[in-house]
Amino acid sequence: MDPKKAFEAVDGLCQSWALGSYVHHVRHVKDRAEQGHEFLVIFSMPQPTKPVPELVATATFTVKPRGEGEAPRVSYIIEKQKNRFPGERPIRKQWLDAAIRRKAIVLECSAMFADKGRLPQPLAFVPGKYKAAQAIADAAFDGADENQERLMEAANDLADAQAAALQQMFESDAELEQLLVSIFKDGDADGNRYLDPKEFRTLLETSQLGLDESSVRQILMLADANGDGKIEYAEFAPLGADIIQTMRLRQLNAAEEAVRNEEAELMAREVIHGLGEEEIVEMLLSAFRSFDKDNSGRLERGEIVECLKSLQLGATKLTPREIKMIMSFIDEDESGTIEYNEFAPLMFNYLVEALKLGFLQSESDDLVEYLSMHLASYDAEEDGRLTTKMLKAAMIEADLVKLTPIQLQTVLADAPVDSEGKVMISNFVGPAARMIIKLSDPALERKRHMVTKMAKITPLQAITPEEQKRLTNMARNVFQAYDADGSGKLDRAEFQKCLFESKLGLNEHQIQKLMFAADENDDGAIDYNEFADLFFNCMLEMTREQSIERMLRDESIASIKASFMFLLDELMIPLHLAFDIASGGQDSCDKDVLLGFLWPKCVEEWGVMPEAIDVLAARIMEHPEAAVGWHALCEMIEKLAFEEPPSETGAPAAA
């Protein structure tokens, strides 16, 4: 095959692709005769200040002949990756950017291996040079296998954590309350229906949230709202919901971080593999020689320590204790010196870790940047680290981070602490930001708020002994009041009268079902024991549910009325201006046009409660005319702000 035609095919393809500011240079590498030709294409982005870029991306093209009169078959691979693409698929600019970015990370991480500024000198013989190639290969293969195994395990753990998070997402308020009651009863070791400080402390310890002693004391004070030394269910519920949610999200975040960590290591190993064996060996050999000051071909103890002190992962350097530990195991033959075959695997693993950290810290978002800047302002020593105490103070004072005490302590508990008791800011902010975003989910806050409201009316399983006694007396009094003939049993008529006058909203069919369910001995009458079981297990629970519904309805009505008062007191002028614009300066505005501007203005711009605007929209649609005047709109808002809501017909009485 004519090499000129093959060259033109490759060059024409590269010219036809939209690669932004990249320029390319095609170099003929191999002539495979009838099997075609191989070309190396170098892509670079020259700058006026640097016409010859230091970093470039490459692609290897293979051109094979086809039948006579047909265009040759062109394919390529980017850098030294495994995937080969047909020439019909254009190289994308993002691929070249990624290749150069990976090389930049390698260059930064391997800066310590550079020999810049040194005069050329004869290279000493390095014992173990050829043996080290096998050691590096062993380190690479063993590390890759272990990385794959860890990645598989992390992916399985993540699947379990995601399933638990999905369950939390679809968990109803009643299911969450049932779980809280169960935890409360388990924590109540002496069965007195409240948690004393010791029982509550034990409960917090089993949560595995990493709470320190000061946090436990703080949460204990928050829980015991009335200061009587007893934590009743209503006090426990909001904190219990917070603990459950935080535990689940901590497990999910830990699983995600484990997968991210292993994927970053996998990417690091792929980049190193892409450099090629010769380039890696030469890089490590150059590093070895740079520390071998006497050109002995071995590193003495002092040279080893100097080498280890220069190692840096991000902004972190090895501590004296870590250096001592490494020294204890890298000298395999216990000679007091290390040869290149002992040095190379250590440096190879260091390079993997450095690249992995580079990938982990390369991703950023607004919260990560905010935390990095905010925490840096507390770094008095300017070494990129904070003590755990200072980190906690900084996180408490972070304006954009709104966490409960339990959530904050959980985020801090996962901070990686070094041997000096300090936390590297760059290692902390990424996982912390992702955990904070999960914890700030409005749906979780709504559930905690709802459970707190429901806890105001204590579930029957969590009532105190005194309340249990009061309800037992109530059951006996009710039974005796409806046992008109004093027989000690309620017949069908007496039982029906009791249920009807309880105002539980039961129909005839439901009363019949309760009668059959309560009459355990099938004698057609209900004795006191049967009635007591029904009273506690059904009637009181139904009354509680209806009381909660009324309470939530009343709170919703109060919130809606408050929204209309807010409209009257604060927003009538901007509302009038918006009305004039929508109506085109006319006295009245078409209903559809009016409804079209109410939601975006009132809800999205002014923060009015959406439910209030829904109520107002319903009133507008009831207006008898096609258009609504300004004064009519004002009257609607005033009525909604001051009128009492209609009472519910047949609403059940409170228990």
Mean pLDDT of 229-248: 86
Is the pLDDT assigned to residue 312 strictly greater than 60?
A: no
Mean pLDDT of 449-471: 75
Mode of pairing for the β-strands spanning 37-44 and 57-64: antiparallel
* Of 545, 580, 595, the domain-final residue: 545
* Of 525, 545, 565, the domain-final residue: 545
Q: What percent of the chain has pLDDT over 90?
A: 9
Mean pLDDT of 562-573: 87
Shared domain check, 624 and 577: yes
Shared domain check, 541 and 469: yes
Distance between CA atoms of 132 and 283, rounded to whole angstroms?
13
CATH of the domain at 499: 1.10.238.10
Dihedral (C-alpha) 387, 388, 393, 396: value to the nearest 10 degrees?
Answer: 140
Q: Which long-range contacts (CB under 8 A, 24 or more apart) does 333-340 make?
A: 336/300, 336/301, 337/298, 337/299, 337/300, 337/301, 338/298, 338/299, 338/304, 339/126, 339/127, 339/128, 339/297, 339/298, 340/126, 340/127, 340/128, 340/129, 340/132, 340/284, 340/285, 340/288, 340/297
At residue 335, the pLDDT reads 67
At residue 649, the pLDDT reads 39
In the structure encoding, which two tokens stand for residue 281, read together? 């060996």
Answer yes or no: is 390 within a domain.
Answer: no
Is the pLDDT assigned to residue 87 strictly greater than 80?
A: yes
In the structure encoding, which two tokens stand for residue 2, read together? 């004519």
Is the pLDDT assigned to residue 459 strictly greater than 80?
A: no
Query: When comparing pLDDT for 651 and 334, which is higher?
Result: 334
Query: When comparing pLDDT for 341 and 410, which is higher?
Result: 410
> Which residue from 397, 406, 463, 455 is spatially nearest to 435, judged by alpha carbons?
406
Distance between CA atoms of 597 and 579, rounded to whole angstroms?
8
Answer yes or no: is 189 within a domain.
Answer: no
Shared domain check, 578 and 530: no
At residue 511, the pLDDT reads 65
Q: What is the 3-state secondary structure (H, E, C) of 90-159?
A: CCCHHHHHHHHHHHHHHHHHCHHHCCCCCCCCCCCCCCCHHHHHHHHHHHHHHHHHHHHHHHHHHHHHHH
The total of structural domains in the chain comes to: 3
Query: When comparing pLDDT for 130 and 140, which is higher?
Result: 140
- Residue 71 CB coordination number (10 Å): 11
Query: Model confidence over 149-204: pLDDT tens digits?
Result: 888 888 888 888 888 777 777 888 888 888 888 888 888 888 888 888 888 888 88
Shared domain check, 558 and 486: no
Mean pLDDT of 199-226: 77
Is the pLDDT assigned to residue 393 strictly greater than 70?
A: yes
- Burial string for 543-555 (b: 16+ CB within 10 Å, else e) reads bbebbbeeeeeee
Mean pLDDT of 596-619: 86
Answer yes or no: is 481 within a domain.
Answer: yes
Highest averaged pLDDT of the listed ranges 405-419, 485-499, 517-531: 405-419
At residue 75, the pLDDT reads 92
- pLDDT classification of 316: cutoffs 50, 70, 90: low
Is the pLDDT assigned to residue 654 strictly greater than 60?
A: no
At residue 390, the pLDDT reads 93
At residue 117, the pLDDT reads 44
Mean pLDDT of 80-109: 80
Answer yes or no: is 589 within a domain.
Answer: yes
Shared domain check, 572 and 533: no
CATH of the domain at 563: 1.10.238
Answer yes or no: is 413 within a domain.
Answer: no
CB 500 within 8 A of CB 490: no
Distance between CA atoms of 595 and 560, rounded to whole angstroms?
18
Tell me how far apart the terminal alpha carbons of the chain are, to the nearest angstrom.
96
Cβ neighbours of residue 361 closer than 8 Å, sequence gap 6 or more = 314, 426, 430
Mean pLDDT of 470-496: 79
Highest averaged pLDDT of the listed ranges 91-105, 134-148, 194-208, 242-256: 242-256
Lowest-confidence pick of 140-144, 388-392, 607-611: 140-144
Lowest-confidence pick of 333-337, 484-488, 503-507, 542-546: 503-507
> What's the mean pLDDT when you consider all of the chain?
78
At residue 119, the pLDDT reads 42
- pLDDT classification of 266: cutoffs 50, 70, 90: confident
Distance between CA atoms of 472 and 132, rounded to whole angstroms?
83
Mean pLDDT of 196-219: 79
Answer yes or no: is 511 within a domain.
Answer: yes
- pLDDT classification of 306: cutoffs 50, 70, 90: confident
* Of 523, 545, 567, the domain-final residue: 545
Lowest-confidence pick of 157-171, 516-530, 532-546: 532-546
Shared domain check, 589 and 540: no
Shared domain check, 529 and 596: no
In the structure encoding, which two tokens stand for residue 418, read together? 């070094």
Distance between CA atoms of 305 and 303, rounded to whole angstroms?
5
Answer yes or no: is 428 within a domain.
Answer: no
CB 172 within 8 A of CB 213: no
At residue 655, the pLDDT reads 34
- pLDDT classification of 650: cutoffs 50, 70, 90: very low
Distance between CA atoms of 469 and 418, rounded to whole angstroms?
56
- Residue 119 CB coordination number (10 Å): 5
Answer yes or no: is 177 within a domain.
Answer: no
The reported pTM is: 0.56
Domain enclosing residue 541, as ranges: 460-545
Highest averaged pLDDT of the listed ranges 136-145, 221-230, 458-467: 221-230
Shared domain check, 577 and 560: yes
